[in-house]
Amino acid sequence: MNSYSHKPYFFTAVIIALISLSASADVCADVPSSPITSITINSRQFSCIPPARWDGKTVYLPTAFIHRNLGIAVEQFESPDSYRLSAYDNSLRVTVGQSRYQVGETAFEGPAPQRTDGELLIPLAPLARAFDIDFAVTPVQDSKPTVKLNLPGAEVEDVRLGEHPDRTRVVIDLSHPTGYRWSTGGDGVIIEVPRPASKRAEGGRLRLLTFDNPLVSRIAQSTTPDGFTRLVVAAAGWHELNSFALPDPPRIVIDLHKPSPEPIPIKPLPPVKPSAGRWHLRHFSTPRGPLDVYVLKVDPGREGLEVRPTLAGQTVHSRRSVLHIARQRGAVAALNGGFFAGQGPPLGLLIIDGEWIKHPILNRTALGITADGELLMDRVSFEGRLYFGDHGYLELDGINRGHDESYRLVIYTPRWGEVLSPYAQCTRLVVSGEAVVVAKRTQAQPVEIPPGGYVISGSGRYASLLEKVHEGEGVWTRLQTNPEWKKLAYALGGGPRLVKDGRPHVTASPEVFGRDVSGGATSRSAVAITQDGLLMLVAVETPPDEPGGGVTLAELAQILVKLGARDAMNLDGGGSTTVVQRDQVINHPRDDYLRAVSNALLVMPREARD
């Protein structure tokens, strides 16, 4: 045990190989520049993005890696350049550019922390000293060193759930302190805890816990072949995640914060002259009663505005209210977008700034906007191919879509999350942003999705075909719609089609929509291309003091024709129908709260970008 420690912490006290450090090391004036993109922890290789750095003598770890792969929390402390790193009952204070470190009341010297490209980098050796990390750095001549960390491991003794007004807390009780890894992905939150060395070859506990909780529905516990206990927390709808470790007893805590309740600031739409980016209130009626119809027309070529779809967050699993999305992006106006699954992902085509995020499904109707501003609307299917050099090509089944019997070859981009969860009998290729295969995984284990790149995942016979591809080989994608829409900047899937060539044309049955969409009258949203080439957003609802209940798809099609639509399609509706003018909701959503949605259509100043 080191002399400054008052009790053992969560890593063993023996350092296998420690790069020599002077107790009075000078502050390094130059930011270390040689990147290290992979680090081994307990014999498993992990990607390090952003990369660690090597200056020829010292390894510097980014705080993102420290937090997510070692379970050490990092927070700003006292000043913009001062930070505290903590786990269980141990903490380390560091200051950018200063060689002095402090653990409790004990101070020592070491290479100074650095900041590069906005990322805080902590030297590995002082970190190891503070947290008793067992590590080995092996220099390689004319190359980057290999870095190996070894954690003692612990058994997961219990898993508990605590429900609070603002969050749901997942608590994982451990036999003793150890590091852990956490990540988010399509299944929710994944926590992996190394098992003790004496038990890594043994089978661990398997169990499935279910909960009646608004954020967490179940937690599955299993053991990986390489000796980690994996906990998959099926979580959806959370707003923010905090992870940290506490002592007495040693435990990992994952706080999933609930979205803050958003009041509905309803403001009547005042009568205004026609102007760019403003909703206008029209009045129609059905035999059931009157209707409020909100209409917004945009001429992208003249008004300096554009209509673009956007996700609620950085991944397809995020959900926020339309008001939240519009405020966050600084939109002039907004309307809810296409349909989405219960866990958040959009159902159907989604392209943003030329990036394919989701593929079209079931030959449903979609809106397309080219880089030249051309507006397109049609029923579209997906044609995707992956080219593997001399191996030929494979037909792609989907993008950012979970595997099932009909989806056998899927690519996952960072829009899915940071990590792709294990899937049995599956081969996965990790493709870098330079379109090169950098890793191949054939075992059922998590795979990190590289920023700027993607992961190819094949099941069934596609798994064996992908096994023939080797690291270092190039891969090229060809993604397009059928009919082919070239130079797509934006696209949003919806449906069914409501208007075609200026006439009502409802295609609910051919587009495989059930009664939940096609049946009955409800609040509805739509997007249309007008006879004079404008893009028109429309929302229809019954006034709040009337009993009518909304419109049917057929009635909505008639309204759209009267408003001048040449082509139109339905969007998600019901409680999702939300009309935003700048920072206010101006319609009367069916629910008494703002529903969280996966995506929205925003009216943006043309120069504005995320």
Q: pLDDT tens digits for 503-521?
A: 999 999 999 998 889 888 9
CATH number, domain containing residue 218:
2.60.40.3500
Domain count of the fold of the chain: 4
- Identify which of 356, 348, 351, 372 has the alpha carbon closest to the alpha carbon of residue 478: 356
Question: What is the predicted pLDDT for the residue at 260?
Answer: 62
CATH number, domain containing residue 445:
2.60.120
Q: 145, exposed or middle or buried, with CB in 10 Å at 0-12, 13-18, 19+?
A: middle
Range of weakest confidence among 58-72, 271-285, 532-546: 271-285
Question: What is the predicted pLDDT for the residue at 343?
Answer: 61
Residue 41 lies in a domain: yes
Q: 608, exposed or middle or buried, with CB in 10 Å at 0-12, 13-18, 19+?
A: middle
Range of weakest confidence among 67-71, 172-176, 545-549, 584-588: 545-549
Strands (E), 200-259: 207-210, 216-223, 228-235, 240-246, 251-257
Q: What is the DSSP code string of 364-412?
A: -EEEEEETT--EEEEE-EEEEEEE-GGG-EEEE-EES---BTTB-EEEE
Range of weakest confidence among 364-368, 455-459, 606-610: 606-610
Residue 187: give the domain boundaries: 156-257
Place of tokens 């705080």: 63
| Domain C-terminal end among 482, 510, 545 | 482
| pLDDT score of 497 more than 90 | yes
pTM for this model (two decimals) = 0.67
| Domain C-terminal end among 150, 171, 194 | 150
Question: What is the predicted pLDDT for the residue at 344?
Answer: 65
Which value, to the nearest 10 degrees, does the dihedral of the CA atoms of residues 272, 274, 275, 279 take? 70
Residue 532 lies in a domain: yes
Interval 380-400 mean pLDDT: 94
Interval 389-411 mean pLDDT: 86
Instruction: Give the number of other CB atoms < 10 A from CB of residue 37.
Output: 15
Residue with the larger pLDDT of the pair 421 and 87: 87
Query: Is 91 in the same domain as 110?
Result: yes
Interval 149-157 mean pLDDT: 92
| pLDDT score of 561 more than 90 | yes
Query: Is 371 in the same domain as 508?
Result: yes
Q: What is the DSSP code string of 76-143?
A: EESEEEEEEEEETTEEEEEETT--EEEETTEEEE-SPPEEETTEEEEEHHHHHHHHT-EEEEEEETTE
Task: Give how far Cα 584 sits from Cα of 91, 215, 279, 527, 587, Å.
Answer: 44, 27, 12, 20, 9
Query: Is 371 in the same domain as 506?
Result: yes
* Contact status, residue 15 vs residue 1, Cβ threshold 8 Å: no
Place of tokens 């010292």: 58
Query: Is 511 in the same domain as 592?
Result: yes
Residue 272 lies in a domain: no
- At 13-53, the pLDDT tens digits run 333 333 333 333 333 334 456 888 889 999 888 888 778 99
Q: What are phi and psi of 110, to 5 degrees?
A: -175, 180
Residue 56 lies in a domain: yes
Task: Return the ∠ at Cα 186 (arms to 384 and 437), rounded to 5°.
Answer: 50
- At 221-255, the pLDDT tens digits run 999 988 999 999 998 878 778 899 999 899 999 99
Task: Please give the Cα distance from 326 to 328 (Å, whole number).
Answer: 5
| pLDDT score of 444 more than 80 | no
| pLDDT score of 206 more than 50 | yes
Partners of 336 in beta bridges: 600
* Contact status, residue 572 vs residue 578, Cβ threshold 8 Å: no
Task: Please give the Cα distance from 522 to 553 (Å, whole number).
Answer: 9
Residue with the larger pLDDT of the pair 592 and 353: 353
Range of weakest confidence among 29-43, 375-389, 574-588: 29-43
Query: Is 162 in the same domain as 188?
Result: yes
Query: Is 134 in the same domain as 187?
Result: no
Strands (E), 461-564: 476-482, 488-493, 497-500, 503-504, 524-530, 535-541
Query: Is 41 in the same domain as 143?
Result: yes
| Domain C-terminal end among 257, 272, 292 | 257
Question: What is the predicted pLDDT for the residue at 13?
Answer: 32
Query: Is 229 in the same domain as 348?
Result: no
Q: Which two tokens stand for residue 183?
A: 């990540």
| pLDDT score of 426 more than 70 | yes
Question: What is the predicted pLDDT for the residue at 470?
Answer: 92
Question: What is the predicted pLDDT for the residue at 276?
Answer: 72
Question: What is the predicted pLDDT for the residue at 29?
Answer: 38
Residue 1 lies in a domain: no
